[in-house]
Structure 1
Amino acid sequence: MTSNCSFEGVDHLMRYFELAIYIPIFVFGLILNVAALLVFCVCMRKWTETTIYMTSLALMDLLLLFPLPFKMHATKHRWPAEFQPLCSVLESLYFVGIYGSIYTIMCIAVDRWVSICYPFKARILRSPKAALGTCVVVWVLVLAAISPTIYRFREAGQTSDFHCFHGFSKNSWSPKVIICLQVFGFLVPALVVVYCSVHTICVLQQSGQNSPQSKACVKIIYSSLSAFLLPFTPSHLGIFLQFLVHQGMIQDCGNKTRISLFIQVAMCLSNITCCLDALCYYFIAKEVRDTKNTFTISMRSQRKNTFSTSEV
């Protein structure tokens, strides 16, 4: 971006907008996710696949919430150059929380898809050990992908004060980094979540079940799909547009200013996923489990009827 284009108006507006958004997200997200962890770890005696995935999701959301107070401080204040290692750690935790949540939600969608669409195979594929192993793999992969990369997001040997969470170096906007981020960080998990959700809804509707549990499950899937797409789609669209700016494909100052405002607002609002996750995946866990059991009983009955007809 050229120096002739001023972003002072955008930065001034975002100082107040971020505070208005981050404070309630931090408070409610902290309360909801800590409450979820207490329920899963203390109140529930038996660990199931659902509770394991949700516990991992709550931990990811808390990891995302932890840097928010520092992010709010960095919006209005410049940090001394010696705080750059601390900033890199906080930025790393923030992005690990974001993409860890994305992949954990993807795992929840796949687990629900298997349990409802393939109830007999689910006995072999699903288990608490498999769910725990999947969560561990997600944590390791996200940490391994984000942590080494985040230290290259700032210019080496910087000696002046800086804004943490802002002003990433040119290396962070390289085509290789952005393509990997967009494809493996969002597009692939989004396609998996959409496919599993749509297929699960079709199977439930085609099964002929009109029970309250089935209807509740369809509503839950729609709401959880919306809770995934609404926070993350605009933010990754903004990242792509900002990438075009850094590549010189967008040079008009007015468009640059609008894109800068859009990406900052979208990234700010994407943090609301900390609250949506707790509402969509914790409070509705029992209803999803009940629907799965109802659907399994129905499939068994249909199979028994088929066997009886073939014997006659």
Structure 2
Amino acid sequence: MENLTLSSNHSECYPVDSASRRRSFMFFYLAIIVTAIPSNAFSLYVSWQHIRQKNGLGVYLFNLALSDLTFTIGLSMWLDFLWKGLWIHGGYVCMLSVYFLYTNFYTSEALLCCIAVDRYLAVVHPFKYTFLRKVNTAAAIGVAIWLLVFCFNATTISWEDSYHEYNKFAVCFDIFLPLSRNLVRVNLARFILGFIIPFLLVVFSTWGIWEAVKSNQATKERERKRILKLLTVVLLCVLFCFGPIHVMMLLRTQMDDCREVAWLLYPYKISIAISSLNCLADPLLYCFITRTGKANVNQVVLFFQVKKMSNYEDVV
């Protein structure tokens, strides 16, 4: 594997990944886009069925699919950058793509927390907090999440931290200058608010549900497995998809020399690639674990099977 190289006339503060590595990421993201757009579009339909059934969970699932679709569309802006190694779209488009990235991170994590807490209330306190599980309440919470994330991103994402030009060489997001004091504080806030707190909330909800269904003999074995499978996927999404990128953010706050920061380039890119798998993990929640999701998947499969048989009979 090729080593990281430095572009001509650049210091250690401007590391450039090799073409083979960049393009491997490009094909990875292209596979994500091709898979995530149809799966999340279908997830919008499935979650809408939940909402029609007056199920508050469907609101969170719908917003998750919407967040993933938005991120996937924004991800397409990076393909040209990964192919050429140069950002040619200008600073404003760069800021927009970075905004899409962080918006997906924190709306997804907040919504996954809402799903975990919703299931916790449904299982552990089925009659006590029913107002929190209504569609209108879930919709208000969803709007509040989007607004809070928008406001947080607007105050923490800056031009100098997202886009940089050195002569005619422009980079977007892959800026490995030592962090300013402000960005150190922002990264610490992202680590605590955007990872630690959501992770603890999901762990608490999963543990509470596990204890409840284990001691409740009335809960059917199939229902018990379905609930625990749902919470396990939520927990893995938060830990696996968002853990590495936030650890990288935390590591960057401890480094104030270009040569120290430069070695983080490739691990940092891997952590971002891992976080993008969230767009594929989320549809698993509603399409293959929830009852409505399974039913709709089965309907689609049955539709295509019938259509295939009909076409075969026409040929015969």
TM-score by length of 2: 0.79
The answer to whether residue 138 in structure 2 is matched with residue 131 in structure 1 is yes
Q: Which secondary structure state, in structure 2, belongs to the residue aligned with residue 166 of structure 1?
A: coil
Structure 1, residues 12-33: CA drift from partner, whole Å, max 9, x if none? 4530231232111111111111
Structure 2 residue aligned with 1:33: 40
Q: What corresponds to 2:115 in structure 1? A: 108
Distance 2:115 2:220 in 1: 24
Aligned residues: 281
Determine if contact 1:224/1:281 at 8 Å carries over to the other structure: no
**Is the Cα contact below 8 Å between 1:111 and 1:126 reproduced in 2?**
yes
What's the offset of the Cα at 1:258? Answer: 4.6
The 3 A distance-change label for structure 1 pair 212 and 39 is closer
The Cα of 1:167 is off from its aligned counterpart by 1.5
Cα distance change of structure 1 residues 122 and 135 upon mapping to structure 2, 3 Å threshold: same
Structure 1 partner of 2:191: 182
1:143 aligns with 2:150: yes
Asked if the contact 1:22/1:68 (under 8 Å) is kept, the reply is yes
Give the corresponding residue for 2:96: 89
What is the aligned-residue identity percentage?
Answer: 23
The one of 280, 285, 302 equivalent to 1:280 is 285
Counterpart residue number, 1:207: 216
Q: Which residues of 2 match residues 1-312 of structure 1 at below 5 A?
A: 3-4=11-12, 7-8=15-16, 10-41=17-48, 45-75=52-82, 76-80=84-88, 83-152=90-159, 153-154=161-162, 160-167=168-175, 170-171=179-180, 174-208=183-217, 209-245=219-255, 247-248=256-257, 256=261, 258-286=263-291
Residues 90 and 168 of structure 1: CA distance in aligned 2, closer, same or farther (over 3 Å): farther
- Counterpart code for 2:105: I
Closer/same/farther in 2, CA of residues 234 and 13 from structure 1, 3 Å limit: farther
Query: Structure 2: which amino acid aligns with 1:84?
Result: G
**Residues 57-101 of structure 1: CA distance to partner in whole angstroms, max 9, x if unpaired?**
101111211111111222234234x82112111211221111111
Listed as ranges, the gaps of 5+ residues in structure 2 are: 1-9, 295-316
Distance between the aligned counterparts of 2:207 and 2:224, measured in 1?
A: 14
Flag the 1:124–1:154 CA change in 2: closer, same or farther, 3 A.
closer
Distance change in 2, residues 1:199/1:44 (3 Å): closer
Deviation of the 1:175 alpha carbon? 2.1
The 3-state SS of whatever aligns with 1:244 is coil
Q: AA paired with 1:222?
A: T
What is the CA–CA distance in structure 1 between the aligned matches of 2:43 and 2:72, rounded to whole Å? 15
Q: Does the residue aligned with 1:163 lie in a helix, a strand or coil? A: strand
What letter is aligned with 1:3? S
- CA distance in 2 between partners of 1:155 and 1:280 (Å): 35
Out of 234-243 and 133-142, give the one that drifted further. Answer: 234-243
Runs of 4 or more above 6 Å deviation: 155-159
Q: For the residues of structure 1 that align with 2:151 and 2:166, how far apart are their CA atoms?
A: 25
Distance 1:204 1:132, change over 3 A: same
- How far is the alpha carbon of 1:6 from its aligned partner? 8.2
Q: In structure 2, the residue corresponding to 1:162 is in which secondary structure? A: strand
1:201–1:221 contact (8 Å) kept in structure 2: no
User: Is contact 2:206-2:231 (8 Å) kept?
Assistant: yes
User: Structure 1: where are the runs of 5+ without partners?
Assistant: 290-312
Greater relative contact order (CA < 8 Å, ≥ 6 in sequence)? 1
